[in-house]
Amino acid sequence: MQASVKGFMDQQAGSGALFEDIYLIDGKRTPFGKYTGSLSTVSPTDLGILASRAAIEAAGVAAEDIDQTIVANIGQASADCFFLPRHIGLYSGTRLESTALLTQRICGSGMELLGQAAEQIALSKARLVLGCGTDVMSRFPLASYSARQGFPLGRPEFVDLLWEALNDTAAVPMGCTSDNLARHYNLSRAAVDAYAMRSQERYASALAAGFFNGEIVPVAAQGVLEMGEYNPRKYRLNSREDCGADEHPRQTSLEKLANLPCVFSTEGPTTAGNASGIVDGAAALLVASGDYVRTHGLKPLGKIRGFAATGVRPDIMGIGPAPAIRLLLKQAQLKVADIDRFEINEAFSAQCLAVAQELKLDEDKLNVNGGAIAIGHPLGATGVRLTLTCLKTLHRDRKQLGIASACIGGGQGIALLMEACA
């Protein structure tokens, strides 16, 4: 068998690709730090390097074998951000001739980069690809786009790029899209709060059982990242203490959730308690051809079977996973019932419930370890985290097929189909 790809495109449904003999070997992620928390003083490049080095070690591959590095990063949160993918590759130990690029599909970027990695392998442009997603949302800058042209005395113009990331200027703010879906699918405040509570409880149960030990690499309080002749990179955590666990999960109650005010509209039901957390973090995965896997005697977590993306109305962008999953399943000749585990990004409770309702999902298969309401949603890293979590869940639960999916600001959806290896 040889790595191969078959692309597909439907003007009314979207596009994507199906793959043969391409593997997701293993990966790691940093803890996801809370807004202005422990990781907020670290650049996304450095978090990406830390996650990538750990993923390479977990995969049992030689960094020098990596042919390409593909990175997702949405917020340019450090002064050297223009070099981010190249620096992640170089400081992770890839050879000088190995190339690096940046990809951006906002919340779906982590899955997009894995699909692109598989395509590069199927086209014989690589045998082994490092995929990394990284964002430090706490460091999204305040920016002045007109300062070079001058401004009136006392009237400098600045925008908060973190806040702007939550606002689609073509339609409505992201939270309003969730409220729109809640109205369309008749989702009550009680229902969306109950879903948020379940996300927190499922995360707590998985954490207590040690599930996340297999995907998280702790970040030391300070460090120096060195590689060959390149300039050392120094970092220090805001907490001045090691960070070994996700910081955003909350111990809460339905009563506390019910008392939170609505954020984006007076009628809601979206609140800070039933929306994904603003967090900092990075995640990385190694993607390889079957020939590379067999030659090196590797035991990959799974195969990447395919991925698909589609466009939806911007004002209901949160429904995006539903048509993306439908398209992918149709092309793979599968049904919703054939999928053992779904990891769908919890941008908002109402959004995730709307997708589940639209697809008639068995919620016992959905986000069984909790989701972004508990863990958080560092934009560029989320898709890689969802895929890694799904793979490890399939192995733990002795299941075969999984789908990771996310809605995308501006009105898109993306989905990735994977199969666990024995």
CB atoms within 10 A of CB 169: 9
Residue ranges and CATH numbers for the domains of the chain are: 4-140+277-417 (3.40.47.10)
Torsion over CA: 275, 323, 285, 200 (sign):
positive
The tens place of each residue's pLDDT in the chain, 422 residues long, gives 899 999 999 999 999 999 999 999 999 999 999 999 999 999 999 999 999 999 999 999 999 999 999 999 999 999 999 999 999 999 999 999 999 999 999 999 999 999 999 999 999 999 999 999 999 999 999 999 988 999 888 888 999 999 999 999 999 999 999 999 999 999 999 999 999 999 999 999 999 999 999 999 999 999 999 999 999 999 999 999 999 999 999 999 999 999 999 988 888 999 999 999 999 999 999 999 999 999 999 999 999 999 999 999 999 999 999 999 999 999 999 999 999 999 999 999 999 999 999 999 999 999 999 999 999 999 999 999 999 999 999 999 999 999 999 999 999 999 999 999 98
CB 25 within 8 A of CB 117: no
What DSSP assignment string belongs to 144-167? -SSGGG---TT----EEHHHHTTB
Helices (H) and strands (E) in the chain, counts: 12, 16
**CA 286, CA 300: separation in Å to the nearest integer?**
9
7 has which bridge partners? 17
In the set 132, 176, 352, 407, the catalytic residue is 407
Instruction: Respond yes or no: is residue 107 known to be catalytic.
Output: yes
In the set 81, 107, 132, 176, the catalytic residue is 107
Checking 219-224 for CB contacts under 8 A at 24+ apart, the result is 219/30, 219/31, 219/38, 219/39, 219/42, 219/47, 219/50, 219/243, 219/244
CB 113 within 8 A of CB 304: no
281 has which bridge partners? 135
Query: pTM of the entire structure?
Result: 0.97
